[in-house]
Amino acid sequence: MTASPARASRTPLSALNATAAAVLLLMGAAPALAADGGPDAVINIGSLYEPQNLDNTAGAGQGINEAFNGNVYEALFRLDDDGKVSPSLVKDYKVSDDGLTYTFTLQPGVTFHSGDPLTSADVKWSIERVTSADSKSSRKNSLKPIAAIETPDDATVVVKLSSRSISLPYNLSYVWVINDAAKDLQSAEDGTGPYALDGWQRGAQLAIKRFDKYWGPKPENGEVVFKYFTEATALNNALLTGAVDVITSVQSPDSLAQFKDNPDFTVAEGKSTTKLLLAYNDRVAPFDNVKVRKALARAVDDKKLLEAVWGDYGTLIGSFVPPTDPWYVDLTKVDAYDPESAKALLAEAGYPDGFTFTIDTPNYDPHPLAAQFLQGELAKVGVKVNINVITANEWYTKIYKAHDFQATLQEHVNHRDIVFYGNPDFYWGYDNPKVTELIKASEEAATVDEQTEKLKEANIQIAEDAASNWLYLYPQIVVSKTSVTGYPLNGLNSQFFSYGIKKAD
């Protein structure tokens, strides 16, 4: 009796041993990591923004700008990481005295990845793709002044405008120059950049390889692999374990501690353009009343919110314009935190006992946290906040399109986007004819100085009107292995130029 149970247990135990052996075998099968540095290094970039397709006029999302702008596709001009606009595929250009005719001379000797030479016809075709009827580019509107494009010879492009457009070079920095013979742009590419697409595994990664016939300086690395993650924690673990070399933009403040005090990693803070705001629907009561908006701006301690979300990182802003825009003015003193005067203003506006409103809150960080914070702050001045959590997709239908909301939280990522306040049909419905006129006039300005003056004035006006409640500027944090250097810090408009990235041996 005592012997038989022992025999019976032999079978299970040997199966256990077999499992253990299999696990050991797997652990031994370490992957061949090509972690070598030097001029042909492979740089692994970790990102949360996988493009949905490869065409930036077909709704590919911000991820395509990160992977492709300046890397795979180039434009006539380039928006440098410091915010300056410099010539890229344009060698030289002239503007007529009336500002309505731009004559661009193209760089000589430029070849597409397919081998075709760059000609003016490609440039014309590329611009017209963005302005065409079925383009989904968010930049389509800014190119409206373009009336005609002429190509007198292969190296010259003449753009005729219907009205002056001082930001034309800036706006053209978004227009990828693509071979006009290219067929499939959703899953393939034909650009002129320093890298060509090497492979795209949907849901996982996108690889770009150095293009040997590139007309400009040779990249500092041989290949770049963008690895995509849906969870910030998984992305951080990938950096910790060496599966990626650099994270383009850290979105989880809690994770910074594990990199900050570790000599193997560099934590660098760049200049951000991402603003968090409580946008009111300025068309509807009580937010059509400037006093109410000013009162709510004074009732919220932005500094406390920023510290709660980001600790020591991030910047306070007094309007929609970040310090990197040329028309930045420090407006943090306008409607600064002052709950007592907020109460007085509310009484003046006819709401001595406050009121109730709903914030449509996107379901991802940091919006739910910010909404709860606002709920607490506004309760102190007698205003009751209901929080309605929605998905990003719903946000477009309910708020962006139908304008069916009282207030919403949203982050706006782009550089130079104050122009949205000059459009009374925009989702937040801010309509001050003076600002609309200033923004229109700024675009038709003859000089950059004049443009800057006008936009500064508009900037001050939206702050005085408390058009929205600008809570803070997100920090722009890039974390990398210490051995990896030369990456862009500011990531303007989600770009991530990778040709300068070096990996030490």
Partner 1 sequence: MLIAAAVLFLLLRLLPGDPANALVSVGADADQIEAARRQVGSDLPIAAQFVRYLGQLGRFDLGASFVSGVPVLEEIGRRLTLTLPLTALAFLSAVLLALPLGILAAVKRDRWYGGLISIVSQFGVAVPVFWIGILLVTAFAVKLRLFPSSGFPPSGWRDPLTALHQLALPILTIALVMSASLIRYVRSATLDVIGSDYLRTARALGAGYGEALVRHGIRNGAVPVISILGIELASTLLGAVVVERVFSLPGLGSMLLSGIEQRDYPSVQGVLFVSTLLVLLVGFAADLTQRLVDPRLRGPSGARS
Site for partner 1 in 298-327 (CB under 8 A): none
Asked if 315 contacts 272 with a C-beta cutoff of 8 angstroms, the reply is yes
3-state secondary structure 292-356: HHHHHHHHCCHHHHHHHHHCCCCECCCCCCCCCCCCCCCCCCCCCCCHHHHHHHHHHCCCCCCCE
Shortest gap between Cβ of 53 and partner 1 (angstroms)?
5
Nearer to partner 1, 295 or 467 (CB): 467
Taking contact as CB under 8 A, which single stretch among the options 3-11, 81-89, 314-322, 438-446 is the one that binds partner 1?
Answer: 3-11
Asked if 135 contacts 128 with a C-beta cutoff of 8 angstroms, the reply is no
Nearer to partner 1, 174 or 313 (CB): 174
203 forms part of the interface with partner 1 (CB under 8 A): yes
15 forms part of the interface with partner 1 (CB under 8 A): yes
Cα–Cα distance, 156 to 485 (Å, whole number): 38
The dihedral built from the CA positions of residue 380, 381, 386 and 390, taken in this order, carries a sign that is negative
Taking contact as CB under 8 A, which single stretch among the options 105-113, 224-232, 348-356, 368-376 is the one that binds partner 1?
Answer: 224-232
Nearer to partner 1, 78 or 398 (CB): 398
Nearer to partner 1, 56 or 192 (CB): 56
- Both tokens of residue 225? 């692999």
Q: Amino acid letter at 125? A: W
Task: Please state whether beta strands 101-106 and 476-481 pair in parallel, antiparallel, or not at all (unpaired).
Answer: unpaired
In the list 254, 384, 396, 447, the residue contacting partner 1 (rule: CB under 8 A) is 396
Q: What are phi and psi of 289, to 5 degrees?
A: -100, 115
Degrees to nearest 5, angle at CA 411 with 249 and 420: 125
In the list 79, 207, 305, 439, the residue contacting partner 1 (rule: CB under 8 A) is 207
Task: Please state whether beta strands 85-87 and 77-79 pair in parallel, antiparallel, or not at all (unpaired).
Answer: antiparallel
The dihedral built from the CA positions of residue 304, 309, 315 and 316, taken in this order, carries a sign that is negative
In the list 37, 53, 100, 369, the residue contacting partner 1 (rule: CB under 8 A) is 53
Taking contact as CB under 8 A, which single stretch among the options 236-244, 308-316, 319-327, 447-455 is the one that binds partner 1?
Answer: 236-244
Site for partner 1 in 127-166 (CB under 8 A): 133-136, 138-141
7 forms part of the interface with partner 1 (CB under 8 A): yes
Shortest gap between Cβ of 34 and partner 1 (angstroms)?
12
In the list 61, 99, 216, 424, the residue contacting partner 1 (rule: CB under 8 A) is 61
Nearer to partner 1, 50 or 81 (CB): 50
356 forms part of the interface with partner 1 (CB under 8 A): no
